[in-house]
Structure 1
């Protein structure tokens, strides 16, 4: 049975994967740990790697989790690296985000607004179904603002250019946070938003099983 480690999105946990079909896989959900002050992503990934107990596992990362999984794959031997609604290299970071990182504009964001269950946030993440709205609200409420602030700083300043030899990228055609036009070579989930793992779980599951 394949050993699979899954990294959730920014501030989220395994609840966002509740609809995925992961049968036939031995799955471990990696738990976020508190970042240290001014900790760089490579060091954070190294500390997080203590949770990887198997040799040559498959790593799956959603959004920010894909960035962390990419850094993890540089530290430990990894059979496959699968990204969901994420980024492969710095070149795929939207230009606006890169400019914000260069000018440190992201540091003046009112982070409490990012934790609000507003219509705009639901639209941005592609949340439509009632059940998903409820889950989205709970995940936002549980998101730690300090972790959010640290992670956004890491994302806009990420400088990766390396591609794992067994890298697979699954991306929604309607992703508003990380538009597919920046994603390069990907497996496309039609009409999938940033949280396509919820409302497009069947299509994402099928893509995952084909890869694995």
Structure 2
């Protein structure tokens, strides 16, 4: 039996360990993608094309978390995919919170002291949201990319993402307590009650139960 390939992309600065509790049935072949350090002045479309070269199966399912959700949407422009599923992410820049739009207009993102963000506490807040003060130790194992160049690049790519219209057929799973991408800005999503930006960790049982059905649904 040919298995259905499912590629997972973690969130900004996160390691593939955020998927350690995701368990799909044997009909699926799970492949975990990791962040690469961007090349000098590499655009998000070019980066997406480079990561797409790691796809070794035809017609895969792409699942991305947060910034990884943005990336898999860009990757899907380069290859034929069975389905794109995003978790705790956005389908266009119209779903960004006001502070993102302000940062783009003012270029305030260029003033973020990335060297300070590299502390595990700040990086955890930056990547997973504010509501994590009880869980800093937990995130030490989930945050793997502590490269200033990568962080500067990633923040800029998010803020400047120019997609204004969602692609067709995106499945969007989102927590109604997400403090990075507030639910009030999100349209057409599967809403998970009480879930924060880290629902990939906190709602893994829901995901294990429902991802197979969402993948197989016509």
Return the TM-score normalized by structure 2: 0.88
Cα RMSD of the aligned pairs, angstroms, is 2.1
Q: Indicate the residue corresponding to 2:57 in structure 1.
A: 54
Aligned structure 1 segments of 4 or more residues deviating by more than 6 angstroms: none
Correspondence for 1:19: 21
Matches within 5 A, 1:1-212: 1-24=3-26, 25-118=28-121, 121=125, 124=129, 126-127=131-132, 133-140=136-143, 142-212=145-215
Using the TM superposition, give the Cα deviation of residue 117 of structure 1 relative to its aligned residue in structure 2, in angstroms.
3.8
CA distance in 2, matches of 1:126, 1:37: 33
Q: CA deviation at 1:110?
A: 1.6
Check whether the contact 1:81–1:167 (CA below 8 A) recurs between aligned residues: yes
Asked if structure 2 preserves the Cα contact closer than 8 Å seen for 1:94 and 1:178, the reply is yes
Asked whether the equivalents of residues 6 and 59 of structure 1 are also in contact (C-alpha less than 8 Å), the reply is yes
Give the CA deviation at 1:137. Answer: 2.0
Please give the alpha-carbon distance, in whole angstroms, between the structure 2 residues aligned to 1:48 and 1:190.
33
Deviation string, structure 1 residues 64-121 (Cα, Å, up to 9, x no partner): 0000000001110111000000010110111211220222101111223433344992
Whole-Å separation in 2 of the counterparts to 1:118 and 1:29: 25
The CA deviation at 1:162 is 4.2
Quickly say closer, same or farther: Cα 1:129–1:108, change in 2 above 3 A.
closer
Whole-angstrom distance in 2 between the partners of 1:70 and 1:34: 19
For structure 1, the residue ranges without an aligned partner over 5 or more in a row are none
